[in-house]
Structure 1
């Protein structure tokens, strides 16, 4: 093994440099996408302040709706709303990559009917062509329809009609010179459980789009799935099912374009602290499934003032743009999500303890929490460290990286420490591994 490593290091410098550049490009392409559903593009108020807050939090992408009924307000008359232009201009200014949903029906075509009939499907295709052509310089992702399965997740013909529409719409989008990521599905939790997502993959939909989008909400599930840990266990099973249905049994690229936990009082919710803890845990757990390419939190703002209604309390911010703890937590964890890569070999999930290891080159960290009672765990450093353990506690995200006051205890070149963990992940600095053993 040492001889093989030395031989590889003797490659000509230009080839070595090319390899490094290719590795960097691959890493950039593999960067996990942190997204947020904004629901701002169809409003006449300026989105600038809200989008500025998202940029400050390290968000990459924003998802919103390009309504067919807005783009075609009269039969055969196409237009782009001024508010769309304003919104998209602001996303570029704040370095946010837009994802637009193409759908929701039009009153002039069977009264908002889904495009199942050829005449409606052709009209939908004309709208898709117009919008994507007009906005080709401003949009990075398109999602074909939203939650088609919600009406009927079990009928194979219903899934087949959607697949036909996706094939036609994707060809129209691909006609644009600028490459765009095309997603399809937007499958609800019920559709995932009842086989709608399976039927889409079996139909060959991935021959036309770049990924399958899912909306895996579980906050109101009564089967004990409504924690991040049970959520990811369920998603892993869904992921394996989709892989089995796919061509050549390969992993399906998954985009969680809507996901979140509400902060309402009572049914299906928790307080703002629980929402923030669940946000951090779900974002980190999503990275443990390599083919999950990103997750879009729904949504940016609370939708209303009723603190007992789950649907009104998903926001990272309150309606007046005041900050909730979930926003601060996302801001604290986004650098780790962007810069570090999950190390499956060194990660552990033991009972209710989650000890996830991540690496950035030779830099090593552990993200640790428990879904049970608070406890103390032993952690090992990856190099000899003096002084105290440093970590980011997502319970107090505004403090950033702090000195815990807990000393590293080192014997014979190995260092360890006892660190308390609870339901909020701690991002613990483990030091630097020798370069020879660092992850690429």
Structure 2
């Protein structure tokens, strides 16, 4: 057992966590129901190293008349583009239908049966095109505290998952899409206690904190809160094991004024949150919300989450994601060698014998001493996420070596630097 103390709580990471599947880098696109051509936007996501895209398979679109099912041509075009650009689709099944209690949640038996029929139809028709399904979206938003409300959703999950499992091609099934409020008020706990993990492959969460006034609205405080939520869910599970978590919506806006920051802050927070979430091995992926800014109002947080502007011009956050995605794909977090000291975050990652450090500070800029994994000649090389378009650069900072050990003083700020540390001796390399 490896224990790393960070920000006042324990990080407990077992060796078995290192064998988990690759972390999923996802983006919520909001494009599948639009007539605009999605090919260029999805091409940009492929170029940025994104693995998965999340969008909505509206019940009202799939059943436009009572009892009449269809797959929208715009869905087919979108999914064809995702395949062309090697992006694994995650589709949300939900949002109600006007013919069944006027868009009511499927809590009554007749509405629930109609919803299950829609689930069967969509997943059967799209069996060769979709890898993930999510059962409803933010069910808890209306009432996160009523146990009966949560139980009705659990019943829906069981039936919907059973219908999806009848498809010949295996699909990943997620449920929950629990809001931050639902996480705080016990809705996610009640789902886990009800046994939904017997029916789905993971619990999905939407852990937004950008508008919190309790100092939770930084990546470092966010991960501390998320870690506590994860530990609580583990205790609520019947097996007392870590719950597989999928953060199917998460992001930071770049608006002026309330709850926002500038585009540089958005990019820095993106990088820090993607790196910090690697320290939770039961988080299997994170989907940034969203791909495009939703509108022209620069003061509205909801219109400024995008990686791209509405005209598809790239924002700083897109360039940063593109710069860090190879590290997220290829390197694994090394808990034993990672540290946090006085708001300095020094996370170590390994790819076989290759070692890197991802370093930043949540406080004032400063210089830190970085120790290399082997004797290095010349200067320190790193990727500075403040200037991601430059890629790996020669910093001009020399390695100082003595008695077979090398170190250097490297300046850090709020943008993570991905620092190359050389090759670790084979005896100590992570497999």
Same fold (TM over 0.5): yes
Q: Distance in 2 between matches of 1:164 and 1:248?
A: 20
Post-superposition Cα deviations, 1:291-342, rounded to whole Å, max 9, x if no partner, equal 0000000000000000000000000000000010000000000000000000
Question: How big is each residue's C-alpha offset from its partner over 1:350-370, in whole Å with a ceiling of 9 and x where there is no partner?
Answer: 221100000000000000000
Do the aligned residues in 1 keep the contact of 2:61 with 2:72 (CA within 8 Å)?
yes
Unmatched segments (≥5 aa) in structure 1: 1-25
1:4-403 correspondence runs (5 A)? 30-403=21-394
Alignment check: 8 A CA contact 2:207 2:247 kept: yes
1:14 aligns with none
In structure 2, what is the Cα distance between the partners aligned to 1:60 and 1:97?
6
Structure 2: 5+ residue runs without aligned partners? 1-16
Report the secondary structure of 2:46's partner residue.
helix
Please give the secondary structure, in 2, of the residue aligned with 1:248. Answer: coil
| Runs ≥4 residues deviating over 4 A | 26-29
SS in structure 2 of the partner of residue 132 of structure 1: helix
Offset at residue 254 of structure 1 (A): 0.2
Q: Contact 2:18/2:332 (CA < 8 Å) preserved in 1? A: no
- Taking the aligned partners of 2:339 and 2:183, their CA distance within structure 1 comes to 27
Q: Report Cα offsets for 1:254-290 as digits up to 9, x if no partner.
A: 0000000000000000000000000000000010000
Shift of 1:248: 1.9
Which structure has the higher relative contact order (CA within 8 Å, separation 6+)?
2
Partner of 2:7: none
Measure, in 2, the Cα distance between the counterparts of 1:223 and 1:434.
44
1:111-162 alpha-carbon deviations (Å, 9 max, x no partner): 0000000000000000000000000000000000000000000000000000
Three-state SS of the structure 2 residue aligned to 1:270 is coil
In 1, Cα distance between equivalents of 2:76 and 2:224? 40
3-state SS of 1:287 partner: helix
Following superposition, the deviation at residue 60 of structure 1 comes to 0.1
CA distance in 2, matches of 1:267, 1:433: 46
SS at match of 1:439: coil
Which position in structure 2 is the counterpart of 1:436?
427
Rounded to whole Å, the distance in 2 between the matches of 1:382 and 1:30 is 26
- For normalisation by structure 1, the TM-score amounts to 0.94
User: SS of 1:171's equivalent?
Assistant: helix
User: Would you say 1:406 and 2:408 are equivalent positions?
Assistant: no
Give 1:28 shift.
8.8
Structure 1 counterpart of 2:5 = none
Deviation at 1:434, TM superposition (A): 1.3
What is the rounded CA distance, in whole Å, between the counterparts of 1:125 and 1:28 in structure 2? 35
TM-score (norm 2): 0.96
Number of aligned residue pairs: give it.
Answer: 415
More helix by share: 1
| Cα offset, 1:27, TM superposition | 7.8
SS at match of 2:239: helix
1:349 partner SS: strand
Distance 2:50 2:288 in 1: 10
